[in-house]
Amino acid sequence: LDGEAMAQIQVRLDSLTKPQGSLGQLEQLAKQLGGIQRTSGPKILKKAVLTMAGDHGVVEEGISAFPQEVTPQMAYNIMNGGAAINVLARQANAEVILTDVGIAFPVEGSLINKRVANGTQNMTKGPAMTRRQALQALLAGAEVAEEKIREGYNLFATGELGIGNTTPSSAIVSILTNSAVEDVVGRGTGIDDAGVIRKRRAIEKAIEVNQPDKTDALDVLSKVGGLEIAAIAGSILQAAASHVPIIIDGFISTAGALIAAKLAPKSMAYMIPSHGSVEIGHRKALAGLGLDPILNLDMRLGEGTGAAITFYIVESALHILEEMATFADAGVTEKTV
């Protein structure tokens, strides 16, 4: 990040008619945006939610409350504008960019086709993907981000769609944050107690069968990850490489962000947190990235919904930086004690 731009923004923030630092995270966001864009006057031009879709062979283990056919059904729902992410992106004046990185059944319509496979393999029986597939999915995410940056988008939100994808996310978070499996396995879309036990067992078995190397994020990603999780990581890496900030959505997105952070630690400086999910492993995953959630809405929907709400708050930070009066302009006395 550009320290000079950030220092200039700090001076400006401290000249505004408010106690120094009293706008907390809004001030931090303004500085972060300036540091990323390398200017004391950061601007948001076009915003997009990059929703990556993929399926998971591990659904065979009975780890999800919804059947796999819901992934393509929800892809159509997003293309038709009826999903929660469409509603929240519309409110934020942002686009939803849906990418198929590997839905089990091909879908047609207004989405980007970057299919790597018909979903992953069942990770309890072997690797979810080959290392080559993981790389392909990572590159797919990077390509989508790069294309949108070329079109003038300069603020992203991550998002995803994929029945069963809290299971690989829990596996990744467990491995990369050194957490016990039981501490990072939640109810996903709403599985019952027996389902939670099956989910834990599936993750434990996948780790035992595949022996992922925690020092090699690509190994973890390919063995116990997901195609859409790889694409999220890729979109984050490309955003960072192109000096574009990216808002990290919930649990699955944060698992993708952990992969990105392991592959390129500097990418963390381009991440903006959004909400704290109900999914129990999310706090651990965020802590692994040094991120504190801004929103406390008890959400657990995915698609990019928490990140989409956060667009507004990032814009609040820039409005404050641009529009507030200074002590000098407004004739307000500065702090005396």
Residues with catalytic function: 303
Interface stretch with a copy of itself, choices 130-138, 236-244, 263-271, 316-324 (CB under 8 A): 316-324
Distance (Å, whole) CA 282 – CA 299: 11
Distance (Å, whole) CA 179 – CA 173: 7
Shortest distance in whole angstroms from residue 238 CB to a copy of itself: 28
Q: Which of residues 48-67 bind a copy of itself (CB under 8 A)?
A: 62, 64-67
**Cβ-proximal residues to 54 (8 Å cutoff; 6+ apart), any chain:** 71, 100, 101, 102, 103, 119, 120, 137, 160, 161, 162, 165, 226, 227, 228, 229, 231
287 binds a copy of itself (CB under 8 A): no
Q: How many residues bind a copy of itself (CB under 8 A)?
A: 68
Shortest distance in whole angstroms from residue 110 CB to a copy of itself: 15
Question: Is residue 324 exposed (0-12), middle (13-18) or buried (19+ Cβ within 10 Å)?
Answer: middle
Contact string (CB under 8 A) for a copy of itself, positions 14-43, x = contact: --xxxxxxxxxxx-----------------
Are the C-beta atoms of residues 313 and 30 closer than 8 Å to each other?
no
106 binds a copy of itself (CB under 8 A): no
Residue with tokens 């389902």: 195
298 binds a copy of itself (CB under 8 A): yes
74 binds a copy of itself (CB under 8 A): yes
Contact string (CB under 8 A) for a copy of itself, positions 136-175, x = contact: ----------------------------------------
Q: Residue 149 — left, alpha, or beta (φ > 0 → left; ψ -120 to 50 → alpha)?
A: alpha
Distance (Å, whole) CA 144 – CA 148: 6
278 binds a copy of itself (CB under 8 A): yes
Distance (Å, whole) CA 300 – CA 283: 13
Q: Which is nearer to a copy of itself, 76 or 131 (CB)?
A: 76
93 binds a copy of itself (CB under 8 A): no
11 binds a copy of itself (CB under 8 A): no
**Residue 18's Cα: distance from chain center in Å?**
32
Residue with tokens 């309890």: 124
301 binds a copy of itself (CB under 8 A): yes
300 binds a copy of itself (CB under 8 A): yes
193 binds a copy of itself (CB under 8 A): no
Shortest distance in whole angstroms from residue 192 CB to a copy of itself: 6
Shortest distance in whole angstroms from residue 273 CB to a copy of itself: 9
Among 9, 142, 232, 299, which residue sits at the site for a copy of itself (rule: CB under 8 A)? 299
Among 87, 180, 269, 328, which residue sits at the site for a copy of itself (rule: CB under 8 A)? 87
What does the binding site for a copy of itself look like in residue numbers (CB under 8 A)?
A: 16-26, 62, 64-67, 69-70, 73-74, 76-77, 80, 82-84, 86-88, 90-91, 189-192, 195, 276, 278, 292-301, 305, 309, 312-313, 315-316, 319-320, 323-325, 329-337
